[in-house]
């Protein structure tokens, strides 16, 4: 009996200890990993953001199944667009969708983000240049030299046209026009008398109405209608200075490193989904709204006169090429690519 009592007593203690351990282990294994929450700001206002990014972010949040949530903010909601890079570097925000030029990225390739004059003719040129002609590797190298920010990839947006209050039918009509545009595009257009104006995105429509702006060279006709600019301008110039905007996704490097590999893959797939959506949304919209839009009268600068703008762009390219060996490499790729497309002929170049 004594032995039996000792056994039962010992067993009770042991069972209790094992039970506590088991319960503790069960608690450990049942504990859910902490949800990752990001704040991502896009260059686009709400109406435009509904197309260029929101569907892909909504898809990501659903597919992440509670493991991660991306909170989407529109142009200037948290940080002015020109300060986005520094804010992301500091960790004030976690990720950005924009062009390198607008967010003042401190890399020598930032000048090529947005609308680099005549570098592209169609939206498909952008992914081909990045995936087949080496721009991806060049961008990765450039951003690898900057602490705190990881460049995730680039895609194409719409072409760059003038939408104006007064008609543009010759180069002379550009002189003195106060135009909302991108930094590098504005620098190039100033050669033709354009006065580039920088404003918060949400203030542009009112600035046109009050006469502070004479027009906008920030997008194609799809965006002019989508965001309301077609309501305050009257004319749309069919000549463009670029066939597609180059935009990218960026993330704070520490925050990106904390994301599990399967969620990184998911985010990149959603980036691709966004790129694909824009390809058909812009391509179809640019044609349909020229024909059926009804709000903007189309104008054109004659080909012979516009050829002088294209020739000036080549001089601009050569000036940019002198700024750094890497910039020279990018310019050389643009020249090689466009020469090949010209030799290929229709439908690549006409």
Phi, psi angle pair for 181, to nearest 5° = -155, -175
Query: pLDDT-based confidence at 1, cuts 50/70/90?
Result: very low
pLDDT at position 9 over 60: no
Q: Supply 45's token pair.
A: 């206002």
pLDDT at position 13 over 60: no
Query: pLDDT-based confidence at 153, cuts 50/70/90?
Result: very high
pLDDT at position 58 over 80: yes
The pLDDT tens digits for 227-266 are 999 999 999 999 999 999 999 999 999 999 999 999 999 9
Q: Check residue 31 and report its DSSP letter.
A: P
CATH assignment, 36-108+147-156+247-291: 3.40.190.170
The pLDDT tens digits for 72-93 are 999 999 999 999 999 999 999 9
DSSP state string for 300-327: ---HHHHHHHHHHHHHHHHHHHTT-HHH
* Per-residue confidence (pLDDT) for residue 297, from 0 to 100: 98
Delimit the domains of the chain by residue range.
1-28, 36-108+147-156+247-291, 161-243+294-344
Same fold, 36-108+147-156+247-291 and 161-243+294-344: yes
Instruction: Find how far residue 13's CA is from the centre of its chain.
Output: 64
Distance CA 198, CA 183 (A): 8
Task: Determine the average pLDDT of the residues in 43-65.
Answer: 97
SS3 category, 165: coil
* Per-residue confidence (pLDDT) for residue 14, from 0 to 100: 44
Chain mean pLDDT for the chain? 93
Task: Determine the average pLDDT of the residues in 298-316.
Answer: 97
Distance CA 300, CA 319 (A): 28
Query: pLDDT-based confidence at 7, cuts 50/70/90?
Result: very low
Cβ(81)–Cβ(113) below 8 Å: no
The more confident residue out of 176 and 16 is: 176
pLDDT at position 10 over 90: no
- pTM of the entire predicted model: 0.89
Task: Determine the average pLDDT of the residues in 40-44.
Answer: 98
The pLDDT tens digits for 280-298 are 999 999 999 999 999 999 9
- Topology of domain 161-243+294-344, CATH: D-Maltodextrin-Binding Protein; domain 2 (3.40.190)
Query: pLDDT-based confidence at 33, cuts 50/70/90?
Result: confident
Distance CA 155, CA 249 (A): 9
Sign of the C-alpha dihedral computed for residues 157, 158, 160 and 162 taken in this order: negative
pLDDT at position 8 over 60: no
Query: pLDDT-based confidence at 22, cuts 50/70/90?
Result: very low
């Amino acid at each position: 009996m004594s032995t039996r009592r000792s056994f039962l007593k010992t067993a009770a203690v042991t069972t209790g200890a094992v039970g506590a351990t088991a319960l503790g282990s069960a608690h450990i294994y049942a504990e859910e990993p902490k949800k990752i929450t990001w704040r991502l700001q896009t260059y686009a206002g709400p109406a435009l953001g509904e197309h260029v990014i929101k569907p892909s972010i909504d898809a990501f949040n659903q597919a992440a199944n509670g493991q991660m949530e991306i909170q989407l903010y529109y142009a200037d909601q948290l940080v002015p667009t020109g300060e986005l890079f520094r804010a992301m570097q500091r960790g004030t925000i976690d990720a950005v969708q924009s062009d390198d030029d607008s967010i003042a990225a401190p890399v020598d390739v930032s000048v090529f983000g947005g609308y680099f004059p005549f570098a592209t003719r169609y939206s498909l040129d952008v992914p081909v240049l990045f995936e087949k002609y080496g721009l991806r590797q060049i961008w990765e190298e450039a951003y690898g030299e900057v602490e705190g920010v990881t460049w995730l990839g680039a895609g194409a947006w719409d072409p760059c046209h003038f939408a104006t209050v007064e008609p543009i039918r010759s180069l002379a009509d550009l002189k003195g026009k106060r135009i909302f545009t991108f930094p590098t595009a504005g620098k190039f257009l100033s050669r033709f008398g354009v006065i580039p104006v920088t404003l918060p995105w949400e203030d542009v429509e009112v600035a046109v109405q009050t006469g502070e702006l004479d027009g906008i060279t920030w997008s194609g006709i799809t965006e002019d209608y989508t965001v309301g600019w077609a309501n305050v301008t009257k004319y749309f110039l069919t000549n463009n200075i670029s066939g597609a905007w180059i935009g990218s996704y960026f993330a704070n490097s520490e925050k990106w490193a904390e994301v599990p590999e399967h969620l990184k893959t998911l985010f990149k797939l959603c980036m691709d989904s966004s790129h694909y959506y824009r390809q058909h949304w812009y391509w179809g919209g640019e044609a349909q709204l020229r024909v059926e839009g009804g709000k903007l009268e189309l104008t054109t600068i004659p080909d012979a006169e516009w050829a002088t703008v294209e020739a000036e762009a080549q001089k601009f390219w050569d000036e940019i090429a002198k700024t750094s060996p890497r910039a020279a490499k990018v310019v050389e790729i643009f020249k090689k690519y466009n020469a090949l497309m010209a030799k290929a002929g229709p439908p690549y170049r006409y």
